[in-house]
Amino acid sequence: MAVALPGSFLSEAHHLRDKTYKAGIVGRACAIFRVDEVIVYLDRPEVKEDARLLVELLEYMNSPQYLRKMLYPLKPTLRYAGVLPPLRTPNHPLESKVSKLPSSSFREGVVVKSVNDGSLVEVGLDELVKIKGVKLSPGNRVIVRLVKVRDGVEAYLSNLHEVDYYFGFKVRLELGGLKSIAKLRRSFFILATSRLGSPLKGKVLEALKSALVDRPMLMVFGSPKEGLMQMAEREGLKLNNIADLIVNFIPHQGVETVRTEEALMATLSIINWLAWSAEEAPYIN
């Protein structure tokens, strides 16, 4: 499951602290509802800096705390990273002692150095772990499977396909606006959220339930100042040609406008319930 957010999402906040706080709301929402990927699309050329900031803050949030000093040197854009809430997702384990590890687990790590018989990796424990027989370049970010043994722990190089539980989200930037989202239709069922969309009932509801079973889903959200239909029209597109469904998830709203982070939380809540109530929804963790 993926979400697409406009690069202008942070633009209404004028101070870096406020932008950081807003990014934190998005990161928490995506983690709560097990979003696999966040796509930030550049809806206007002048918001590229804010788009890159959103990507950086979300990537920082998703990184385990024990790797952050290695991955993110001190820089102005992360000045207020302290206001970001912890995700507490399974890829952010708190155990730092080998003796406290479960019998088998996965961790993200960073290769510290290559040695004669393998590679030493930082995985947030009280000692580096060695992946035997595999030479990796220092600085590489890897997923490691840890297996408890009588005298310690053994480490094996792994990947996301082997992890059988939610392991956080990845983030990427698309510079092509909604046109870049349209190209993703071959990979995703694209669900556009709009106040002008169809109500979630009848055939629309049934189509959405079927999509949750049949295909990976990408939920697309508009900007603070511009809905998806306006955005598509400005780009010379029709939203109907981009999205498989256009749905109003907040009918009878009691406010003039719904903020993007509010629409994100509301939509993910409904999708989560629909997926949970479905007999089978393989593309939702």
- 3-class secondary structure, 276: helix
Residue range 47-54: mean pLDDT, rounded: 97
CA distance 107 to 60: 16
pLDDT digits (tens, 9 = 90+) for 143-169: 999 999 988 899 999 999 999 999 999
pLDDT for 265 beyond 80: yes
122 CB contacts (<8 Å, ≥6 apart)?
66, 67, 70, 109, 110, 112, 128
Confidence of residue 214 (pLDDT cuts 50, 70, 90): confident
Domains of the chain (ranges, CATH numbers): 2-87+169-277 (3.40.1280.10), 98-162 (2.40.50.140)
Cβ burial, residue 187 (10 Å; 0-12/13-18/19+): exposed
Count other C-beta atoms under 10 Å from residue 17's C-beta.
12
Q: Identify how many contiguous H helices and E strands the chain contains and give both numbers.
A: 8, 11
Q: How far is CA 241 from CA 3, 7, 40, 146, 238, in A?
A: 18, 21, 20, 46, 5
Confidence of residue 279 (pLDDT cuts 50, 70, 90): low
- 3-class secondary structure, 59: helix
* pLDDT, position 139: 93
Q: Contacts by 119-127 with C-beta closer than 8 Å and gap 24+? A: 121/155, 122/66, 122/67, 122/70, 123/66, 123/155, 124/64, 124/65, 124/66, 124/67, 124/93, 124/96, 125/95, 125/96, 125/97, 125/98, 125/101, 125/153, 126/96, 126/97, 126/98, 127/98
* pLDDT, position 277: 79
Residue range 232-245: mean pLDDT, rounded: 94
CA distance 15 to 8: 14
DSSP letter at 158 equals E
